[in-house]
């Protein structure tokens, strides 16, 4: 038996103003996107903003359905829309903001497993890490690459 240890790095900031200007702008876009969420069932509004290498920002939000499993998270709505608009432009970063009836969540919202997998595919597709910026009311967490959120991932090379 041997033990394998993997290092996960999370950068924490106490305010949006401690981030570089481009990332502040991206978080503003994810906040705004959350306002247009269609989430009548969970009443949990999530917005995501994707920054592309051409500096374009594409946003999305969670879209729910009375058949709950047909809903889609904000991250994948934004990511797939960005990829469908600009199929050859790499994704540099994604910012996510969530709010409930009390406003922006205290804890930064974490992407679900399916969104982490989709983000991983994006890294493989464009051969570059995606920076993930998650907003909470009192702190912002930044993950420099999906490996920090999804270690030991299933990737195309897993197919053999």
Instruction: Indicate the residue among 43 and 155 with the shorter CB distance to ligand THU.
Output: 43
Instruction: Indicate the residue among 74 and 120 with the shorter CB distance to ligand THU.
Output: 74
112 binds ligand THU, rule: CB under 6 A: yes
Residues whose CB falls within 8 Å of the CB of residue 122, separated by 6 or more in sequence, listed in order: 79, 83, 91, 130, 146
Under rule CB under 6 A, which residues in 49-108 are in contact with ligand THU?
62, 64, 71, 73-75
Instruction: Indicate the residue among 44 and 89 with the shorter CB distance to ligand THU.
Output: 44
35 binds ligand THU, rule: CB under 6 A: no
141 binds ligand THU, rule: CB under 6 A: no
Query: Using CB under 6 A as the criterion, which residues of the chain lie in contact with ligand THU when the complex forms?
Result: 39, 42, 44, 46, 62, 64, 71, 73-75, 109, 111-112, 115
So which residues are the catalytic ones? 75
């Amino acid at each position: 038996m041997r033990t394998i240890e993997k290092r996960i790095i999370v950068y924490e900031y106490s305010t949006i103003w401690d981030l570089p200007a481009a990332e502040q702008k991206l978080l503003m876009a994810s906040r705004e996107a959350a306002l247009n969420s269609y989430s009548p069932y969970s009443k949990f509004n999530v917005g995501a903003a994707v920054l592309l290498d051409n500096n374009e920002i594409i946003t999305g939000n969670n879209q729910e359905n009375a058949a709950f499993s047909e809903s889609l998270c904000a991250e994948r709505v934004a990511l797939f829309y960005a990829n469908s608009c600009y199929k050859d432009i790499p994704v540099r970063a994604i910012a996510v903001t969530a709010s409930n009836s009390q406003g922006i969540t205290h804890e930064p919202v974490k992407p679900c497993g399916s969104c982490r997998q989709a983000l991983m595919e994006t890294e493989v597709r464009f051969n570059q890490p995606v920076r993930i910026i998650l907003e909470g009311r009192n702190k912002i967490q930044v993950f420099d690459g999906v490996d920090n959120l999804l270690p030991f991932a299933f990737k195309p090379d897993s197919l053999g």
